[in-house]
């Protein structure tokens, strides 16, 4: 291989030198030097001067005011009364109450954070006598002296000298903890020329921070002005850069208005501006992907969860936390039976129309949808965004969901389908909330016995009913309106739990349940023979219990059941049509039991139908209209 010629090496060196020289002559290099010069000569010294001046000035002013406040406040105090305070029991004396009133006056009048009176013990330690916030016991050790030993020295100097010392600044780091800085002034309280107590005033040095922030903003504004001048000089000498910056600014404005369909032409150069254009295009692509994630996952989880996943660096990590939340469980009555007689596309159309109304309402009240179970919804309030009024919002949300069933049923009637009824159970308690699943598939949800209780409460509801647990009722008892209470027996618990039948709520989310139409009962002559089948959870017993329906209304019945039954238990009902008609089963919940002897069968019960197919409804209506009346 031939060696490079001396002329080729010389040309290469000249090329390198030319490029270096060109860069040194470039506007980029000159502006770098200009900005560095401005930074070194003006900005840095000015920033340090502003910071130091304002800090010293504000602390000095605050200290002067605090000394005046201490001298004035000491003149308000009855020192003889202070001298009588010795034991914790003295907090009930008029002297203590008068002192407490004066300390509160000092705090309010002089806008100090703490006004405290303390006394020196024979062992050299100081104890509290009173504080404006009334948070200490008489004789309690002054713990601030342990945290900040310098405060003890300041107090001790005042006691020994018998005169007010200049206020000092305390706070900062103590061990691994960082405390806010505060000014403290100690004033002696004398009786007969002898110091008997110390008045201590504390004021946090936040005004200093505010003043520093104000001056810093001025400094930043000045810096921005200097940089703008530099950018103007930069634009004069570099029109190409300005054109690209103009294109970037226009594109950024479009993005700020939500238009992500902007793309800058690929840069022809690889300098700083070219890399900026490339980064901008890359950023736009990232924003498009973010919106895709939001639009996709937002269909299944609440917008708050999506925001936390996108903004929190830990949002996509698995894990959870224990938090008090309010669970809402809803379920449609008789939907499973109705859907078995519908085409698949009709089932999906009905359930999607129902869920669309419900999800909008849950989102409006700040709830998070955990999951759908067929026609059932599990939602919770208080996570991922904490909310103290979670129980109140959950109850109001449930009422609005019940009111929205009118719109749902209007759609049902347009399709020629029967109306839907919904029951809702609500419970408040602690549960684990967070991202649950694996790295491949994750959902934000809740785990805990609180959820099981919510499901059990919901299982005791009938259509158009909301039942809330005692824990939820405790949170909203001052604003919720109740139709009545029910004693529900839960599996695993010996004693019945009182649940509350909600009719409305006041307060911020005031709303009312739709009024129920009055029940018009008709006596059946003769009584209608039926067979009852008890339900255990979702399982129907194979053992038929004979019985009779004595009275009927549009949605309820009074019947005889030839067995011992429990209130709030569910029954499947099979009718015996005299004309041989094969009727589908109906379902009902026992609302009231009246056994003749209180224990044994047969039982006279009041039923509320939870699922009544159209054929059964027509059959029962025929029984009502054809039954002879007295």
CATH number of 127's domain: 3.30.450.20
Instruction: Quote the CA–CA distance of 100 and 97 in Å, as a whole number.
Output: 5
Instruction: Quote the CA–CA distance of 330 and 377 in Å, as a whole number.
Output: 5
| pLDDT at 477 exceeding the cut of 90 | yes
Identify whether residues 492 and 344 lie together within a single domain. yes
- What pLDDT does residue 578 have? 65
| pLDDT at 104 exceeding the cut of 80 | yes
Q: Give me the numbers of helices (H) and strands (E) for the chain, helices first please.
A: 17, 21
Can you read off the two tokens belonging to residue 7?
Answer: 């002329």
Instruction: Give the ranges where 111-238 is alpha helix by DSSP (H).
Output: 144-147, 149-161, 206-237
Return phi, psi of residue 446, to 5°: -130, 150
Identify whether residues 323 and 373 lie together within a single domain. yes
Residue 28 — pLDDT band, cuts 50, 70, 90? low
Tell me whether residue 285 is in a domain: no
Q: Comparing 120 with 618, which gets the higher pLDDT? A: 120
Count Cβ atoms below 10 Å from residue 168 Cβ, excluding itself: 15
DSSP, collapsed to helix, strand or coil, labels residue 377 as strand
Tell me whether residue 543 is in a domain: yes
CA nearest to 419, candidates 338, 328, 299, 330: 338
Tell me whether residue 467 is in a domain: yes
Q: Which residues lie below 8 Å from residue 173, measured CB to CB, with a gap of 6+?
A: 179
Instruction: Quote the CA–CA distance of 527 and 535 in Å, as a whole number.
Output: 24
Please give the distance of CA 578 from its chain centroid, rounded to a whole number: 58
Identify whether residues 366 and 508 lie together within a single domain. yes
- Among 184, 204, 224, identify where a domain stops: 204
Can you read off the two tokens belonging to residue 229?
Answer: 């001048």
Residue count of the chain, please give it. Answer: 630
> CA torsion sign, 355 to 356 to 361 to 365?
positive
What average pLDDT does this structure show over 153-165? 87
Tell me whether residue 294 is in a domain: no
Pairing of strands 497-505, 522-536: unpaired
- What pLDDT does residue 408 have? 93
Identify whether residues 84 and 113 lie together within a single domain. yes
- What pLDDT does residue 300 have? 47
CA nearest to 544, candidates 522, 529, 554: 529
Domain extent, residue 454, equals 319-512
Residues paired with residue 396 on neighbouring β-strands, in sequence order: none
For residues 205 and 62, is the Cβ–Cβ distance under 8 A?
yes
- What pLDDT does residue 185 have? 85
> CA torsion sign, 451 to 455 to 461 to 464?
positive
CATH number of 455's domain: 3.30.70.1230
- What pLDDT does residue 431 have? 93
| Greatest distance between any 2 Cα atoms in the chain | 129
Tell me whether residue 15 is in a domain: no
Tell me whether residue 357 is in a domain: yes
- Among 478, 512, 546, identify where a domain stops: 512
For residues 463 and 333, is the Cβ–Cβ distance under 8 A?
yes
Q: Comparing 391 with 522, which gets the higher pLDDT? A: 391
- What pLDDT does residue 425 have? 96
Identify whether residues 85 and 146 lie together within a single domain. yes
Burial of 521 (0-12, 13-18, 19+ CB in 10 A): middle
CATH number of 533's domain: 2.40.10.220
Structural domain count of the chain: 3
Distances (CA, A) of 350 to 308, 374, 406: 32, 12, 14
**pLDDT digit string (tens) for 208-218?**
667 666 776 77
User: If DSSP states are collapsed to H, E and C, what string results for 551-582?
Assistant: EECCCEEEEEECCCCCCCCEEEEEECCCCCCC
The most confident of 33-37, 82-86, 399-403, by mean pLDDT? 399-403
DSSP, collapsed to helix, strand or coil, labels residue 453 as helix
| pLDDT at 566 exceeding the cut of 70 | yes
Instruction: Quote the CA–CA distance of 378 and 369 in Å, as a whole number.
Output: 6
Q: Which residues lie below 8 Å from residue 614, measured CB to CB, with a gap of 6+?
A: 418
DSSP, collapsed to helix, strand or coil, labels residue 134 as coil
For residues 190 and 163, is the Cβ–Cβ distance under 8 A?
no
Tell me whether residue 267 is in a domain: no
For residues 579 and 557, is the Cβ–Cβ distance under 8 A?
no
Identify whether residues 371 and 336 lie together within a single domain. yes
Identify whether residues 500 and 528 lie together within a single domain. no
Identify whether residues 459 and 355 lie together within a single domain. yes
- What pLDDT does residue 536 have? 80
Instruction: Quote the CA–CA distance of 413 and 416 in Å, as a whole number.
Output: 5
Q: How many CA atoms lie within 13 A of 361 on its CB side?
A: 25
- Among 204, 226, 249, identify where a domain stops: 204
Instruction: Give the ranges where 1-115 is alpha helix by DSSP (H).
Output: 6-25, 27-38, 44-74, 79-83, 94-110
Instruction: Quote the CA–CA distance of 335 and 342 in Å, as a whole number.
Output: 10
Q: What is the mean pLDDT of the chain?
A: 81
- What pLDDT does residue 480 have? 96
Identify whether residues 544 and 619 lie together within a single domain. yes
Identify whether residues 463 and 570 lie together within a single domain. no
Can you read off the two tokens belonging to residue 223?
Answer: 């810096």
Q: Comparing 309 with 562, which gets the higher pLDDT? A: 562
Residues paired with residue 146 on neighbouring β-strands, in sequence order: none
- What pLDDT does residue 296 have? 45
| pLDDT at 159 exceeding the cut of 80 | yes
**pLDDT digit string (tens) for 366-379?**
898 888 888 899 99
Tell me whether residue 308 is in a domain: no
Q: Comparing 387 with 117, which gets the higher pLDDT? A: 117
Range of lowest pLDDT (76-80, 178-182, 312-316): 312-316
| pLDDT at 227 exceeding the cut of 70 | no
What average pLDDT does this structure show over 484-490? 84
Count Cβ atoms below 10 Å from residue 161 Cβ, excluding itself: 11
Distances (CA, A) of 221 to 231, 233, 263: 15, 19, 32
Identify whether residues 342 and 471 lie together within a single domain. yes
Q: Considering the entire predicted model, what is its pTM?
A: 0.53
**pLDDT digit string (tens) for 237-287?**
565 665 666 677 777 777 777 777 777 777 666 666 677 777 777 777 777
Residue 397 — pLDDT band, cuts 50, 70, 90? very high
- Whole-angstrom distance between the N-terminal and C-terminal Cα of the chain? 125
**pLDDT digit string (tens) for 498-519?**
999 999 999 999 999 988 777 7
Identify whether residues 549 and 484 lie together within a single domain. no
Instruction: Quote the CA–CA distance of 489 and 497 in Å, as a whole number.
Output: 6
Q: Comparing 197 with 316, which gets the higher pLDDT? A: 197
Residue 2 — pLDDT band, cuts 50, 70, 90? low
Radius of gyration over every alpha carbon of the chain, rounded to an integer in angstroms: 39
Q: Which residues lie below 8 Å from residue 3, measured CB to CB, with a gap of 6+?
A: none
């Amino acid at each position: 291989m031939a060696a490079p010629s001396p002329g080729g090496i010389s040309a290469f060196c000249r090329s390198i030198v030319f490029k270096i020289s060109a860069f040194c002559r470039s506007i980029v290099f000159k502006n770098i030097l200009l900005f560095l010069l401005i930074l070194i000569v003006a900005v840095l010294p000015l920033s340090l001067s502003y910071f130091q001046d304002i800090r010293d000035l504000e602390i000095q002013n605050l200290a002067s005011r605090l000394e005046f406040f201490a001298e004035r406040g000491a003149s308000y105090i009855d020192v003889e009364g202070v001298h009588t305070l010795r034991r914790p029991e003295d907090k009930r004396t008029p002297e203590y109450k008068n002192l407490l009133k004066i300390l509160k006056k000092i705090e309010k009048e002089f806008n100090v954070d703490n006004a405290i009176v303390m006394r020196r013990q024979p062992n050299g330690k100081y104890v509290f006598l009173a504080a404006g916030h009334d948070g200490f016991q008489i004789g309690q050790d002054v713990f601030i002296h342990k945290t900040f030993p310098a405060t003890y020295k300041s107090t001790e100097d005042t006691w020994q000298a018998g005169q007010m010392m200049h206020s000092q600044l305390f706070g900062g780091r103590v061990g691994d903890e960082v405390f806010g800085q505060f000014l403290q002034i100690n004033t002696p309280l004398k009786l007969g020329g002898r110091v008997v107590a110390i008045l201590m005033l504390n004021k946090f040095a936040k005004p200093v921070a505010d003043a520093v922030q104000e001056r810093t903003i001025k400094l930043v504004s000045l810096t921005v002005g200097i940089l703008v001048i530099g950018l103007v000089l930069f634009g004069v000498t570099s029109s190409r850069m300005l054109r690209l910056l103009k294109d970037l600014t226009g594109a950024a404005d479009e993005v700020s208005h939500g238009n992500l369909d902007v793309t800058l032409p690929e840069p022809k150069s690889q300098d700083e501006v070219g890399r900026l254009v490339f980064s901008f295009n890359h950023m736009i692509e990232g924003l498009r992907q973010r919106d895709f994630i939001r639009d996709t996952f937002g269909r299944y989880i609440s917008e708050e969860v999506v925001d936390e996943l996108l903004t929190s660096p830990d949002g996509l990590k698995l894990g959870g936390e224990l938090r008090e939340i309010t669970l809402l469980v809803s379920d449609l009555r008789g939907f499973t039976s109705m859907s078995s007689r519908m085409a698949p596309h009709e089932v999906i159309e009905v359930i999607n129309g129902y869920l669309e109304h419900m999800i909008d309402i849950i989102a409006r009240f700040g709830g998070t949808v955990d999951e759908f179970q067929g026609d059932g919804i599990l939602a919770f309030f208080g996570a991922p965004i904490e909310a103290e009024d979670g129980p109140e919002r959950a109850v109001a949300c449930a009422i609005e969901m019940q009111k929205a069933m009118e719109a749902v049923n209007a759609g049902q009637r347009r399709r020629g389908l029967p109306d839907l009824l919904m029951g809702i159970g609500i419970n408040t308690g602690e549960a684990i909330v967070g991202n649950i699943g694996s790295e491949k598939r994750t959902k934000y949800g809740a785990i805990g016995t609180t959820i099981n209780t919510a499901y059990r409460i919901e299982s005791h509801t009938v259509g158009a009913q909301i039942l809330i647990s005692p824990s939820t009722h405790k949170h909203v008892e001052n604003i919720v309106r109740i139709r009545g209470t029910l004693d529900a027996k839960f599996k695993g618990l010996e004693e019945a739990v009182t649940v509350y039948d909600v009719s409305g709520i006041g307060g911020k989310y005031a709303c009312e349940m739709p009024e129920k139409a009055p029940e018009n009962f008709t006596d059946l002559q003769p009584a209608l023979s039926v067979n009852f089948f008890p339900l255990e959870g979702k399982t129907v017993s194979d053992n038929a219990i004979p019985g009779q329906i004595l009275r009927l209304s549009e949605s309820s019945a009074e019947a005889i059941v030839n067995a011992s039954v429990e209130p709030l238990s569910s029954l499947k009902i099979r009718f015996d049509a005299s004309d041989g008609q094969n009727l589908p089963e109906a379902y009902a919940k026992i609302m009231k039991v009246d056994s003749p002897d209180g224990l044994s069968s047969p039982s006279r019960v009041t039923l509320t139908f939870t699922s009544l197919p159209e054929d059964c409804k027509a059959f029962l209506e025929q029984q009502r209209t054809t039954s002879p009346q007295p």
